Structure 1
Amino acid sequence: MSRTNANSTGPGRRAGIALAIFLALTAAALFLFPAEAYLWAKAIHVIAVVSWMAGMLYLPRLFVYHAEIGPGTPQSETFKVMEQRLLRAIINPAMTVAWVMGLWLAWQGFGFSGGWLHLKIVLVVAMSGLHGYFSKAVRLFAEDRNQKSARHWRLMNEGPTLLMIVIVILVVVKPF
């Protein structure tokens, strides 16, 4: 295996190991402290959401810079690596943990009831759709097939922010 191939798979493997350790520690906390399981799950959910959002806010900013320089440059190759690692090592695992813990919290804490919760879930589905759109963009940039302008990616950078604002308001205020 060449050095380039070893480096490109290394971060993904390390992210998988880190995720497995995180999940094992989570299971241990839930098992060792069953009375506080809901609070532990909530803490893990918040950590995952913060990580997911950090990636969702940074990735389209990378797309802006990447679109400005165009394909075939050394900088373009660097952006490809950064985008793929951010998606695979942070954004994808964080989204998965956020969904798993969030659904458990919705079931355990609220029995999936409450208008605010239903709207929150719809908005999280929208955030997940945006995540999918960004994932496709990572693939297209990697193949030098991005057709979107830097302006498009600047506008897309606002999507996660707006969704996050409404979701946080729903969770904290619970207006209905």
Structure 2
Amino acid sequence: MTGFLGAAWLWVKAAHIIFVIFWMAGLFILPRYLVHHQEALGDPVQAKAWADREAKLRSVILMPSMAMVWILGLALAINLGLLEGGAGLGWLHAKLLLVILLSGYNGWAVSYSKKLAAGQATVDSRRLRMLNELPAIFVALIVILAVVRPF
């Protein structure tokens, strides 16, 4: 691959994929933590334990890996010609839109974990369980766009 990354292209791509895996691991587990945390709100000891778990997950895995995904992903996208408006990058624009939406979901989940830590449950358990599935749907679509590049 040519572009400003040169021979580093494959290394940057590999690192991007590794951090995507870390981010998705965090996004798959945090919503499940939220369900358990919300159900434990009646028990202050359990609620605090879930709040601590969520805080560790956010600070050690979720937020650092999401930042690296964005940094490396933007470097790859720029290397592909994103800023030059090159033809044939419709798949990349769609992928970026989905990553923006997934980042928004990440922000919502982090915010909701902080609300739960303050004892405020604003989403019913059924809806919270349904929201657990969003990261899987998003990542499936993102992978299809990145691999198949349908447009």
TM-score exceeds 0.5: yes
- Aligned: 1:168 with 2:138: no
- The 2-side partners of 1:67 and 1:127 are apart by 22
Instruction: Please state whether the residue corresponding to 1:151 is helix, strand or coil.
Output: helix
Aligned to 1:103: 74
Q: Mapping of 1:15-164 within 5 angstroms?
A: 36-108=7-79, 110-112=80-82, 113=86, 114-164=89-139
After superposing on structure 2, the runs of 4+ consecutive aligned residues of structure 1 that deviate more than 3 Å are none
Instruction: Please state whether the residue corresponding to 1:86 is helix, strand or coil.
Output: helix
Tell me the TM-score normalized by structure 2: 0.89
Report deviation, 1:72: 4.0
* Structure 2 gap segments, 5+ residues each: none
- Number of matched pairs: 142
Instruction: Please state whether the residue corresponding to 1:147 is helix, strand or coil.
Output: coil
Q: Deviations over 1:2-22 (max 9, x none)?
A: xxxxxxxxxxxxxxxxxxxxx
Report deviation, 1:71: 4.0
- The 2-side partners of 1:149 and 1:88 are apart by 26
- The 2-side partners of 1:136 and 1:142 are apart by 10
Report which structure shows greater RCO (CA 8 Å, sep ≥6): 2
Q: Give the alignment's Cα RMSD to 1 decimal.
A: 1.3
The amino acid across from 1:87 in the alignment is R
* Structure 1 gap segments, 5+ residues each: 1-33
Report deviation, 1:135: 1.2
The structure in which a higher percent of residues are helix is: 1
- C-alpha contact (below 8 Å) 1:71/1:144 kept by paired residues: no
The amino acid across from 1:164 in the alignment is V
- C-alpha contact (below 8 Å) 1:67/1:146 kept by paired residues: yes
Report deviation, 1:156: 0.9
